[in-house]
Structure 1
Amino acid sequence: MNNIVDKIFANSTKFIAFGVLLLVAWIFAVLFEHSLESIKAFGFSFITDDKWAPNLEKFGALPAIYGSVVSTFLAMILAVPVAIGIAIFLSEIAHAKLKTPVGVSIELLAAIPSVIYGMWGLFYFVPIIRDTFGGVGISMLTAGIVLSIMILPFMAAVTRDAMNTTPDILKESAYALGGTKWDVIKDIIIPYAKAGIIGSFILALGRAIGETMAVTFVMGNVHKISTDLRDPATSIPVTLANEFAEADSELYYS
């Protein structure tokens, strides 16, 4: 009887795992099918062209790709050190009475809808960026800052959980050998939790590069490549959000 239950359970989990792969393949197949018109018209030049003029049927995705990469890279640069610091504080330094309220607060921040972050960035960060660095305030820099704040709670919570999996015996052994708290953190905890920490970075990266509403408020939807972070720009999700409803031809839709 137990063998039958084990086989059913194993086959069920296998079916679910392959189902996820099939779902991903199905998504790619649908996207490919609906993009055939643009592939026939532009080929790979769609990715390398920087001209976006729907009225002239010119569609270049390079500015959107550039904006997505730059804003996401900026967000990760700002968020990663802070997230690791928060995780270390909560797992190893904070008093027991602080760990729960601070940890719950961080997890609540992760649950705030992205549109709220976008509106907050528009009304709060845009004027600060404009007055401090110049420009109009709506820019890749503002988008990167808002994205970093969005992904920070999620990254910190997952990193903290990964660090909490470190066995106490490893830490106690390090302390017994004369190691300081810093020695234990850098030589024991971080190496042991490395896989979980990297996983949190990858998940945060996925959320940052795919974020739509928050970035739409503060990025500007300008199809232009600029090395100045103070300039308005666009990203792939922002372009989809702003242009999809206006697609009035098969080529534009594709």
Structure 2
Amino acid sequence: MSGLGAAAGRPPRPARTRFGDRLFILLSRGSASLVVAVLGGVLVALALGALPALREFGPEFVWSDRWSPAKDLFGAAAPIYGTLVTSAIAMVIAVPLSFGIAIFLTELCPPPLRRPIGIAIELLAGIPSIIYGLWGFFVLAPIMQSTIQPALIATLGNLPGIGVLFKGAPYGVGMLTAGVVLAIMALPFITAVTRDVFATVPAMLREAAYGVGMTTWEVIRHIVIPYCRTGLVGGIMLGLGRALGETMAVTFVIGNSHRIAASLMAPATTISASIANEFTEATSPLYTASLIALGLILSVITFFVLGLAKWMIQRSTFH
């Protein structure tokens, strides 16, 4: 009763404050609604633009690997395959490296060096993708062709099972080269997020773990990573989103070949690279609609990845 009396006796807020609150709420809702409306408009535009191709080829467009502009025959399987494989290669390379860099910066690095190294890593995120593409084409691809790919073919190419992934001629360009470039581009994003979430671990937890005799590795494995797993998932998905949508850097080094090959050395293409290379050369309405359909598929893949990330974050939070 005393609480109710105090509440009842509380002076009402000024009309100006109430108006400001209502205005803030309306602006916030409007901003959120605008984002949803723009996203919906993009999807509708893509769907309408892709409709001729989807009507012509039906569901087969997704799993067909045909791509012949001269015959107006198109299929999305090869770009989808290249997009997924190069992104997977990038994550296999970038995630362990990013975690290692973040662990070094937060747990092992001398304090005077933490800031310079952290800034150097973050500067990688500011380099334009066209620069990565030029570097990959003129520097990385020749190294891959003359040294790395022949070594992989001579060693891993002879192993049963995984050997099929490393067979073929050392072209220099291809899915493996594109995956390495994407890994370098995704690394600063994953590292920055991982380092920040590692820094949120309370010092008391670390000190308690060291106090009971844990080693540095045991502290990282059993204290730091479990405490930050939600943030780690978010960082990985941020890097994956960077890899899925990259265009120019991949276009330089993937070979731009509309075919599906088991070997990681083989030239291929991605959805974004196909659109960038061929949109201005589309000479028929069906050709243009097929490229727009590729963009629609990439949007669906991105939404699926975001949904998977949300599910993983919720699952790690509940557990």
Same fold (TM over 0.5): yes
Is 1:94 aligned to residue 124 of structure 2? no
Report how many aligned residue pairs link the two structures: 254
Within 5 A, what are the aligned runs for 1:10-159?
A: 10-132=25-147, 133-134=149-150, 135-159=170-194
1:144 shift after superposition: 0.6
Q: Which residue matches 2:218?
A: 183
1:30 shift after superposition: 0.7
Which of the residues 245, 255, 268 maps onto 1:233?
268
Per the normalisation by structure 2, the TM-score is: 0.76
Partners of 2:94 and 2:123 lie apart in 1 by 17
Give the SS at the match of 1:131: helix
Give the SS at the match of 1:138: coil
Partners of 2:215 and 2:37 lie apart in 1 by 49
Which of the residues 234, 241, 259 maps onto 1:206?
241
Partners of 1:235 and 1:180 lie apart in 2 by 44
Q: Which residue matches 2:229?
A: 194
Q: Which residue matches 1:163?
A: 198
Question: Which digits, 9 at most, give the CA deviation of each residue in 1:1-25, with x for residues without a partner?
Answer: 4554444334433332232222221
Question: Which digits, 9 at most, give the CA deviation of each residue in 1:182-226, with x for residues without a partner?
Answer: 222112211111111110111110110110000000001100100
1:175 shift after superposition: 2.4
Q: Which residue matches 2:159?
A: none
Give the SS at the match of 2:266: coil
Partners of 1:106 and 1:24 lie apart in 2 by 32
Over aligned residues, Cα RMSD in angstroms? 1.4
Partners of 1:167 and 1:211 lie apart in 2 by 36
Q: Max radius of gyration: which structure?
A: 2
Partners of 1:239 and 1:114 lie apart in 2 by 16
Question: Which digits, 9 at most, give the CA deviation of each residue in 1:145-167, with x for residues without a partner?
Answer: 11111111111111101111112
Extract unaligned runs of 5+ from structure 2: 1-13, 151-169, 290-319
Partners of 1:177 and 1:4 lie apart in 2 by 56
Partners of 1:96 and 1:5 lie apart in 2 by 46
Partners of 2:174 and 2:258 lie apart in 1 by 12
Partners of 2:60 and 2:24 lie apart in 1 by 48
Per the normalisation by structure 1, the TM-score is: 0.95
- The one-letter amino acid of 1:237's match is S
Question: Which digits, 9 at most, give the CA deviation of each residue in 1:117-171, with x for residues without a partner?
Answer: 1111111111111113242111111101111111111111111011111122222
